[in-house]
Each structure stands twice: as C-alpha cells, then as structure tokens.
Amino acid sequence: HVQLVESGGGSVQAGGSLRLSCVTSNSYRNPCMAWFRQAPGKEREGVGYIGSAGLVGYSDSVKGRFTVSKDNARNSLYLQMNTLKAEDSAMYYCAAGRYYCAGSLLESSYAYWGQGTQVTVSS
C-alpha cells in the first residue's frame, strides 16, 4: 500500500505564495501524480498533474500561477502556488496513480490519496 503525506499548508494573504510538498512511500515506481483541492460545500477538483514522462497539466483556474514538480530521488511531489487568491482556499490533496501513467485532472486516474493539507488565503 502506498502512503502519501502532504505538508506546507497554512494561512497567507492574497497575492502571497505557498509551496506544498507530498512525500510518497512508493520508491520503486514512477506513477503519475496530481494535486486536488476541495473547498467547503464544493466538489473536489483537480488542480495540476505530472505524468510519468514529466508532462504537466493544470486547471484553467490556476494556470500561470501554480506549478507542479516532482523529485523522484526524494519520492516527492510539489505544488508551488503564487499570486494566491481567496478562492484558492481549500484542503489540498496529493494523489498518485497505481502504475506508469500519463496523468489527468480526473480523480479516477489515481489510486492513492493523502490526508490533505489546509490552505487558507485571506483577502
């Protein structure tokens, strides 16, 4: 079973930046990975992903502000969030596929999920 642990969430003012990290216990595969978020009363939505081959994709709401990256040597996934807005406030989740995969913003693409880290942006 693969475990994912997120960190780096917190409170920040609008316009500020945060960097989320996700460490995975999976050290021998190279699955696609992604970040999702869920705000109170809303459905969980995909934010950004990185496929096993390194290709990335983003939702329109964060494109140009957020960057997904991965460090295979550290078994870690990152989400650099810049120019944060109040509407970015949510619980952020890290997700990983089961095997080598292209990645997507769909929840069904991922088999493993972290517990989440809270991001609060004040305006």
Buried b (16+ CB within 10 A) or exposed e, 54-83: eeebbbeebeeebbbebeeeeebbbbebee
Confidence (pLDDT) at 111: 95
Confidence (pLDDT) at 48: 98
pLDDT at residue 58 is higher than 90: yes
For range 81-85, the mean pLDDT: 98
Comparing 101 with 1, the larger pLDDT belongs to 101
Return mean pLDDT, the chain. 96
For range 72-96, the mean pLDDT: 96
Confidence (pLDDT) at 30: 87
For range 50-55, the mean pLDDT: 95
